[in-house]
């Protein structure tokens, strides 16, 4: 929240009678109860760093080595969800979408006390909307967050990033920036920051939760953005869709491993490079989506390098610059974002220097990505359901630009 320095206000033009009591001055009694907001543009109050309650969840980088991940069975719980989400929404007080393509916020639901039927509905909703937000989830501590994530699949253990100091939480990823840390905006290009988590794995994650346990107040920066890969696929022309459906991409863990070595940190599992289809089909919705991200895709398989580079640059632009397929979330303490890593890219944002930002992430392994040519288009299916016209993609007609 923006800073609000409180001052008492004296009505203009009224004299102050020093010798009289407050009881004799009804205007003064009113003024003492009235608060005046003092606002300083661009400034937010920095939380004190002493006596931090989440010391056990601060980051560490254990020097251990793990065996490669093997393929494990996966059954998507979203398949069993109610089509109208009646179980999940029975305790909800409000639900709304951020835009037609991606992002939904639910109020009144406690993630720590969900029944299995509600969890199935949640998975189904996330698989449709991409990312779902829940405010003020104070009951969802890290143990409850892990338990919820494990319901959806085997929890993923990251090979290079930070884990909590507390033992036994190696399947939790820690996001942590101290208030005195240097701003890293010069280190990465904005396009490169867009990514889908660990897509180099044989079975990249599906349902992924991130809880902010400490962060900037409202207006202090540190927002996260998500981009829909369903919508990215639907932006493509039919010939381009057909072409990309025939291709696969290489996803590499090498850049993360190199970064850890350069920082003097252990790489807990040997880096791998994995080939995945460039277009995949979701097991719950049966919708086709782009499966690509700037962070880990290094090349397109089986075509000339110049062509591969051109496709990568084109898809990077679609993901990072198409506003109607984005949602931006302004965090508050104890908020939770729950997204489907198979159909979303996401990106951090900077600009919160001076504030500590601390979050914990839990991700469930999913199926090996597959493409089903019988899959459907999200946009075409929803347009038919809501009697909306299909989007004109030929680029021939002129249109006014909308502000």
In the predicted structure, residue 157 carries a pLDDT above the cut 80: yes
Pick the residue with more confidence: 59 or 182?
59
In the predicted structure, residue 182 carries a pLDDT above the cut 90: no
Q: Are 107 and 94 in contact (CB under 8 A)?
A: yes
- Taking the C-alpha atoms of residue 53 and residue 55, their distance in angstroms, rounded to an integer, is 6
* Residue partners of 200: CB distance under 8 A and separation at least 6: 251, 252, 253, 271, 272, 273, 274, 296
- What is the predicted pLDDT for the residue at 258? 95
pLDDT digits (tens, 9 = 90+) for 207-249: 999 999 999 999 999 999 999 999 999 999 999 999 999 999 9
- What is the predicted pLDDT for the residue at 37? 86
> How large a percentage of the chain has pLDDT more than 70?
89
- Taking the C-alpha atoms of residue 18 and residue 14, their distance in angstroms, rounded to an integer, is 12
- What is the predicted pLDDT for the residue at 28? 52
- What is the predicted pLDDT for the residue at 32? 58
- Taking the C-alpha atoms of residue 363 and residue 153, their distance in angstroms, rounded to an integer, is 8
Q: How confident is the model at residue 47 (pLDDT cuts 50, 70, 90)?
A: confident
Q: How confident is the model at residue 5 (pLDDT cuts 50, 70, 90)?
A: very low
- What is the predicted pLDDT for the residue at 18? 39
Q: How confident is the model at residue 46 (pLDDT cuts 50, 70, 90)?
A: confident
Reported pTM: 0.90
pLDDT digits (tens, 9 = 90+) for 264-313: 999 999 999 999 999 999 999 999 999 999 989 999 999 999 999 999 99
- What is the predicted pLDDT for the residue at 13? 40
**What separation in angstroms does the CA of 288 have from each of 103, 122, 319, 353?**
18, 20, 16, 39
Pick the residue with more confidence: 37 or 80?
80
- What is the predicted pLDDT for the residue at 7? 36
Q: Are 227 and 319 in contact (CB under 8 A)?
A: yes
- What is the predicted pLDDT for the residue at 17? 39
pLDDT (mean) for 117-130: 98
Q: How confident is the model at residue 27 (pLDDT cuts 50, 70, 90)?
A: very low
Backbone φ and ψ of 297, nearest 5°: -80, 125
In the predicted structure, residue 320 carries a pLDDT above the cut 90: yes
- What is the predicted pLDDT for the residue at 132? 99
* Residue partners of 214: CB distance under 8 A and separation at least 6: 47, 52, 54, 333, 356, 357, 358
- Taking the C-alpha atoms of residue 66 and residue 44, their distance in angstroms, rounded to an integer, is 42
Closest CA to 110 of 330, 328, 336: 336
Q: Are 163 and 170 in contact (CB under 8 A)?
A: yes
Q: Supply the DSSP symbol for 372.
A: -
pLDDT digits (tens, 9 = 90+) for 204-216: 999 999 999 999 9
Query: Mean pLDDT, the chain, as a whole number?
Result: 90
Q: How confident is the model at residue 94 (pLDDT cuts 50, 70, 90)?
A: very high
Instruction: Tell me the angle at which helices 116-129 and 142-152 cross, rounded to the nearest 10 degrees.
Output: 80
- What is the predicted pLDDT for the residue at 400? 64
């Amino acid at each position: 929240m923006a800073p609000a320095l409180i001052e008492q206000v004296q009505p203009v033009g009224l004299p102050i009678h020093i010798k009289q009591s407050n009881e004799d001055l009804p205007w003064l009694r009113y003024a003492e109860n009235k608060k005046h907001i003092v606002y300083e543009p661009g400034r937010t109050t920095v939380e004190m760093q002493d006596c931090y309650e989440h010391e056990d969840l601060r980051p560490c980088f254990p020097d251990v080595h793990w065996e490669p991940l093997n393929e494990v069975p996966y059954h998507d719980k979203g398949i069993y969800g109610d089509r109208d989400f009646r179980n999940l929404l029975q305790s909800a007080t409000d639900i709304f979408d951020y835009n037609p393509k991606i992002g939904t916020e639910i109020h009144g639901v406690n993630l720590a006390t969900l029944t299995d039927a509600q969890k199935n509905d949640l998975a189904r909703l996330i698989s449709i909307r991409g990312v779902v937000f829940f405010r003020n989830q104070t009951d969802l501590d890290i143990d409850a967050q892990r338990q919820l994530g494990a319901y959806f699949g085997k929890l993923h253990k990251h090979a290079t990033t930070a884990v909590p100091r507390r033992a036994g939480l190696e399947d939790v990823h820690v996001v942590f920036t101290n208030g005195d840390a240097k701003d890293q905006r010069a280190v990465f290009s904005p396009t490169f920051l867009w990514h889908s988590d660990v897509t180099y794995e044989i079975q990249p994650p599906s349902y992924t939760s991130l809880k902010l346990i400490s962060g900037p107040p409202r207006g202090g920066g540190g927002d996260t953005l998500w981009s829909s890969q369903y919508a990215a696929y639907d932006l493509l022309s039919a010939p381009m869709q057909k072409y990309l459906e025939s291709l696969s991409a290489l996803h590499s863990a090498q850049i993360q491993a190199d970064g850890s070595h350069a920082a003097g940190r252990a790489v807990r599992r040997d880096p791998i490079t994995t080939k995945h289809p460039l277009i995949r089909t979701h097991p719950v919705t049966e919708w086709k989506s782009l499966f690509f991200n700037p962070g880990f895709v290094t090349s397109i398989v089986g075509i000339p390098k110049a062509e591969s580079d051109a496709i990568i640059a084109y898809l990077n632009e679609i993901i990072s610059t198409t506003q109607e397929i984005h949602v931006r979330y302004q965090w508050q303490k104890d908020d939770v974002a729950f997204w489907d890593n198979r159909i979303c890219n996401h990106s951090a944002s900077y600009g919160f220097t001076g504030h500590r930002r601390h979050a914990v992430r839990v991700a469930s392994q999913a199926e090996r990505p597959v493409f089903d040519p019988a899959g459907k288009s999200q946009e075409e299916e929803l347009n038919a359901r809501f009697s909306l016209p299909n989007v004109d993609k030929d680029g021939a007609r002129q249109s006014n630009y909308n502000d």
